Structure 1
Amino acid sequence: MSIVIFLLIGLAAGVLSGLFGIGGGVLIVPALIFVARLQPTMATGTSLAALLLPVGALGAWQYYKQGHVNVIASLCLAVGLAIGAYFGAKYAQTLSPVALRRAFAVFLGLVAVKMWWS
């Protein structure tokens, strides 16, 4: 049963990633916490592991073919993501599951408010 749940979460994240460029933090992590019942650090680590190259390559290729990829920006973002993910993951290991879940909820709430009013 859990394999089916993971496949469905991945499918949903893939569709939303292709549509909106989201997946990991906005869909996969909450789904792993609430549907698959993983602890926040396990959910985050699992999401990061799933998003390793070349998962985004096929979606990015479709955008690139239409001229919708800034390659320099993508490379710079990748460097920042690699460094940031390392330090973010290191810090997350020091937080309790409740603190991490609440911090994540605050982050999502702030993003939602910004999206709504902009």
Structure 2
Amino acid sequence: MALDTILLLALIGVIAGMLSGLVGVGGGIVMVPLLIYLLGFNQHQAQGTSLTVLVVPVTAAAVYNYYKEGYIDWRYAAIIALFFVVGGYFGSKMAISIDQKMLKKIFAVVLLFVAGKMLFSKA
């Protein structure tokens, strides 16, 4: 692997990690677009790689900081995690059967919807 590729991967990791710790995003919202535009991944490769990064406890240090301040509801997190596994399994089965161009459009619409909802909400 070339040094410039390693540096780009490190940059993606730092950006995704910082935004994950700062505002709770990092996987799909940050890593997927960066893998596509900086490293030329297709949508399926970017999504698969982003999910693979999250298999190991990459956010453990950030979770610890939030835990120390009392900002984690472990019961809610456990239920979400359990069903995240179920949803992730079925979602990935659907994604790999969708054409990359369509998948990219679906991804973009999801990002726009979430951004719009957050931007224009009153809370």
**Same-fold call, TM > 0.5?**
yes
Q: 2:11 aligns with which of 3, 8, 11?
A: 8
1:78 partner letter: A
Match of 1:34 in 2: 37
2:88 partner letter: A
Match of 1:116 in 2: 119
User: How far 1:75 sits from its partner (Å)?
Assistant: 0.6
Q: Report whether the alignment pairs 1:88 with 2:67.
A: no
Please list every run of at least 4 consecutive aligned residues from structure 1 whose deviation after the TM superposition is greater than 3 angstroms: none
**What is the TM-score of this pair, normalised by structure 2?**
0.93
Structure 2 unaligned runs (5+)?
none
User: How far 1:53 sits from its partner (Å)?
Assistant: 2.7
Query: Alignment RMSD, CA only?
Result: 0.8
How many residues are paired up? 118
Q: 1:57 aligns with which of 47, 55, 60?
A: 60
**What is the TM-score of this pair, normalised by structure 1?**
0.97
User: How far 1:52 sits from its partner (Å)?
Assistant: 1.3
User: How far 1:81 sits from its partner (Å)?
Assistant: 1.1
User: How far 1:2 sits from its partner (Å)?
Assistant: 1.2
Identity of aligned residues (%): 41
Separation in structure 1 between the aligned mates of residue 66 and residue 31 of structure 2, nearest angstrom: 22
